[in-house]
Amino acid sequence: MTGTSFIFWIVALLTVGSAAGVVFSKNLIYSAIALLFSLLGVAGLYVFLWADFIAVTQILIYVGGILVLIIFGIMLTHRITNVQLSHSSIQRGVGGVIVLVIFAGLSAMILNAPWHRSPAIEPLETVREIGRMLMINYLLPFEVASILLLAALMGAALLSRKTD
Amino acid sequence: MVDLNTYLIIGAILFSLGMFGVITRRNGVAVLMGVELILNAANVNFVAFARFGGMDLTGHVFSLFVIILAAAEAAVALAIILNIFNNLGTVNIDEANQLKQ
């Protein structure tokens, strides 16, 4: 086993193990911290997939933005004095069976499907290529996404304001 | 050894765990964490296909849009959860059943 593949398996294990921590942990803050490591692990997987720009975006937006937002949400919706912040689960049996069936179906599909593969050439500069595609092929979705972000920002500010 | 199937299986595991969180968690914030896991699973698949499918970087652009949508979704969802907490005094989504009564 080469060093690269050893590091890959460590990153993959970190991702999956932390994701399991997110859904199985009894403490809400521990779940948030596990989510942090899971998102970082996914960013590491992007690096192994030659997607450096997506990896940096993942760290900036997910870890720097969304996770901080989630922790703010936890802090604002619980009494700070309540150190435990425990959160329970319901219907673990039924949910587990449903999820196991879904996972079995997905795995069977993944392992049996004849995926189109071709020897890929490593892209020299992903940032330039992504920028070109955003400005030429995907200009309309890009602009729509900016309007959507503005609308979501205003909507969130409006929703969380005290009405009186 | 590490090929397309490895990434797809990792994505499937992430998706299943996120789905489990969405189904079983009572706290609204924890449900939101499950949704983030599901979106990450989809992103891993997009980038893996872009790498092993011999295609151009369209998968990267698509996962970029998914990340943007996840940011918008998290902001609005947390605003809604804050409103539920202010109105009902709880964030447990199984107790927010005013429409049933």
Both A49 and A127 in one domain: the answer is: no
Give per-residue pLDDT as tens, A64-108.
889 999 988 888 887 655 555 556 777 888 889 999 999 999 999
Q: Which residues in chain B have Cβ-Cβ distances shorter than 8 Å to A35?
A: 33, 36-37
Please report the pLDDT score of residue A75 as a whole number: 85
* B50 touches A at CB < 8 Å: yes
* Domain span including residue A132: 123-164
Query: Does B101 fall in a domain?
Result: no
Mark yes or no for CB contact A133/B58 under 8 Å.
yes
Task: Note the pLDDT of residue A143.
Answer: 94
Closest-CA residue of A relative to B8 is: A110
Q: Are B54 and A66 within 8 A, CB to CB?
A: no
- For residue A87, what pLDDT is reported? 65
**Within a domain: A54:** yes
Apex CA B36: angle with CA B33 and CA B42, to 5°? 150
Q: Flag whether pLDDT at A164 surpasses 70.
A: no
What was the pLDDT predicted at A85?
57
Q: At what angle do helices B28-52 and A28-48 cross, to 10 degrees?
A: 10
Q: Give the mutation candidate from A4, A28, A53, A70 for the B interface (greatest B CB count, under 10 A).
A: A70
Return per-residue pLDDT of chain B as tens, 101 residues.
678 899 999 999 999 999 999 999 888 889 999 999 999 999 999 999 988 887 788 889 999 999 999 999 999 999 988 888 888 877 888 777 777 76
Tell me, yes or no, if B42 comes closer than 8 A to chain A by beta carbon.
no
Give residue B54's domain range.
4-96
Q: How high is the pLDDT of residue A10?
A: 94
Which of A59, A79, A96 is a domain's end point? A96
Task: Clarify whether residues A11 and A91 are in a common domain.
Answer: yes
Give a yes or no: residue A107 inside a domain: no
B32: domain CATH number is: 1.10.287.3510
Total domain count, chain B: 1
Are residues A81 and A20 part of one domain?
A: yes
Residue at A118 is within a domain: no
- Is A59 or A82 the better-scoring residue by pLDDT? A59
| Contacts for A31 with CB less than 8 Å, ≥ 6 apart | A21, A22, A23, A25, A87, B30, B33
**B97 vs A: CB within 8 A:** no
Contact A32, A70 (CB under 8 A): yes
pLDDT at B3: 85
Q: Which residues of A touch B78 (CB under 8 A)?
A: 69-70, 72-73, 156, 160
Q: Is B88 on the interface with A (CB under 8 A)?
A: no
A50 and A127 share one domain: no
Confirm whether the ipTM is greater than 0.85. Answer: yes
Reported as a single tens digit per residue, the pLDDT across B64-79 is 999 999 999 999 999 9
Looking at residue B1, what is its pLDDT? 67
Residue ranges in A78-138 assigned as alpha helix (H): 92-112, 126-136
CA quadruple A30, A34, A39, A44: dihedral sign: positive
Please report the pLDDT score of residue A120 as a whole number: 66
The pLDDT of residue A1:
66
Q: What is the mean pLDDT of residues A153-162?
A: 85
- Does residue A114 sit within a domain? no
Give residues with Cβ within 8 angstroms of A70, minimum separation 6: A32, A35, B29, B32, B33, B36, B74, B78
Q: How far is B99 from chain A (nearest CA, A)?
A: 20
Average pLDDT, chain A: 87
Predicted local confidence at residue A80, as pLDDT: 57
CA distances from B100 to A64, B95, B96 (A): 38, 11, 9
Residues A8 and A63 in one domain: yes
Does A37 score more than 70 pLDDT? Answer: yes
In CATH, what number is assigned to the domain containing residue A15?
1.20.120.1200
